[in-house]
Copies of this chain bind each other. A is one copy, B any other.
Amino acid sequence: MDDFRWPVRVYYEDTDNGGVVYYANYLKFMERARTEWLREKGIEQDALLGQHGVMFAVASAQVDFLKPGRFNQQLLVSVCPQQIRRASAVLEQKVCRLSKSGGYSDVLCCGSIKIVCVDAVNLRPRPFPEIVRREILSDH
């Protein structure tokens, strides 16, 4: 795949009593990858907040937890934009593990995350700033 990918290492903090990655933590991994995907495009969210008064909120998440991740594994998290609207976008994301054959073909978790651009003060939807819109569309 040609999607953006970000490496994430599994630490103790990410695991639970079942000996696997605690499922809600995959949402954190996915967010790290979204943040780095934006950064790669030159979009820093603290600057967006300071200059445009907006931030990104997650409006919905549909996630399938397919296989367990484990302590110390090296994972790769991908980001692929879909359905880009005026103030929202759906991102398809996968969390993969290095498989024995060397690639990252083992999908541990995949999902669709809908983010909305919101006003930092009243949290109401606001159109994406033009620079964000252009950069997100460039991946599409």
Contacts and interface: CB of A to CB of B under 8 A. Distances in A.
A61 B18 contact: no
Interface string A20-42: 10111101100110011000000
> What are the nearest 10 A-B pairs in CB distance?
A15-B17, A24-B27, A46-B72, A23-B58, A13-B28, A17-B71, A60-B64, A62-B62, A12-B16, A24-B24
Mostly helix, strand, loop or mixed at chain A's interface?
mixed
Number of copies: 4
Contacts of A62: 60-63
Contacts of A59: 64-65
A60 to B, nearest CB: 5
B27 A11 contact: no
A135 interface: no
Interface of A: 9, 11-13, 15-20, 22-25, 27-28, 31-32, 35-36, 44-46, 55, 57-65, 68, 70-72, 120, 123
A41 to B, nearest CB: 15
Name the residue in A25, A27, A120 with the highest tally of chain B Cβ atoms < 10 Å from its Cβ: A27
A32 B61 contact: no
30 contacts: A9-B35, A11-B31, A11-B35, A12-B17, A12-B18, A13-B16, A13-B22, A13-B28, A15-B16, A15-B17, A16-B16, A16-B17, A17-B20, A18-B120, A23-B58, A24-B24, A24-B25, A24-B27, A24-B28, A24-B31, A27-B27, A35-B72, A44-B72, A46-B70, A46-B71, A46-B72, A58-B65, A59-B64, A61-B61, A61-B63
